[in-house]
Amino acid sequence: MISTASSCPASTDLAWRILMAAALGLLLCTSAQARKSDRSQPINVYAKSFDSSAKPDGITHLKGDVVITQGTLKATSDRATVHFDGQSQIKRVVLVGQAHIQQVDDHGNRMTGEADSIDYDVPAGIATLTGHAHVAQAGRGSASGNTLVYDTRNSTMTGKGTADNRVHLVFKARQQPAAAASAPPAPAKGH
């Protein structure tokens, strides 16, 4: 189902909003969780260059073909800034320029997201996609908007448009089982 609010007359705007809220609530409530084993995997970081402060609460700047992985979670961009906590653990990653994130849940379903920038809070598992943001969940649908906030722990999402643009949601229709093979036509009488 593809819907835009501009296609709804003003008299049905409230009903449309209630319907969309209910549909989004159903989508979010039935979400599968991101792969639980990813949280215990090491975080690997690749880039063409970096500069870093090797101390607690430090910052590392990555430049050129940045790739960050943790289990099935993969994030890529042109540049990234990695923030560390007091125990020198990664607490936040900000991806800028052709930013992309993907992860597979425990059921094998892939989530992909892209935006101008992605701010990923590692301990909370929250990815905030800003600027031309788009998130798709395999077999379920997608969302586009100026800002999308995706929770990798439970596959929930919120979104905001801008004054000029609205959030756009696509809900995939449930696949119907194939119809039983029809019986061959009965022979005509008299033949």
What domains appear along the chain, each with residue ranges and CATH number? 2-171 (2.60.450.10)
Q: Among 42, 34, 27, 67, which Cα is nearest to 151's?
A: 34
Please spell the DSSP secondary structure of 142-160, one letter per residue: EEEEEEEEEETTTTEEEEE
H helix count then E strand count, the chain: 1, 11
Is the pLDDT at 77 greater than 60? The verdict is yes
Average pLDDT over residues 137-161: 85
Instruction: Of 45-49, 57-61, 115-119, 151-155, give the lowest mean pLDDT range.
Output: 151-155
Report field, pTM of the whole predicted structure over 0.85: no
Q: Which two three-digit tokens encode residue 157?
A: 């999402």
Maximum C-alpha span of the chain: 94
Residue range 5-29, pLDDT digits in tens: 333 344 333 322 322 332 333 233 3
42 backbone dihedrals φ, ψ, rounded to 5° = -70, 155
Mean per-residue pLDDT, 70-75: 84
Give 162 or 23, the one with higher predicted confidence. Answer: 162
* Residue that wins the pLDDT comparison between 180 and 58: 58
Stretch among 32-41, 88-97, 152-161 having the lowest mean pLDDT: 32-41
DSSP state of 41: S
* Contact status, residue 158 vs residue 148, Cβ threshold 8 Å: yes
| Residue 16 backbone phi and psi in degrees, to 5 | -60, -45
Please compute the mean of the pLDDT values over residues 91-98 and round it to a whole number: 93
Strands 141-151 and 168-171: antiparallel
Residue 179: its pLDDT value, please? 60
pLDDT score, position 81: 94
Query: Quick one: which of 78, 53, 74, 52 has its CA closest to 63?
Result: 78
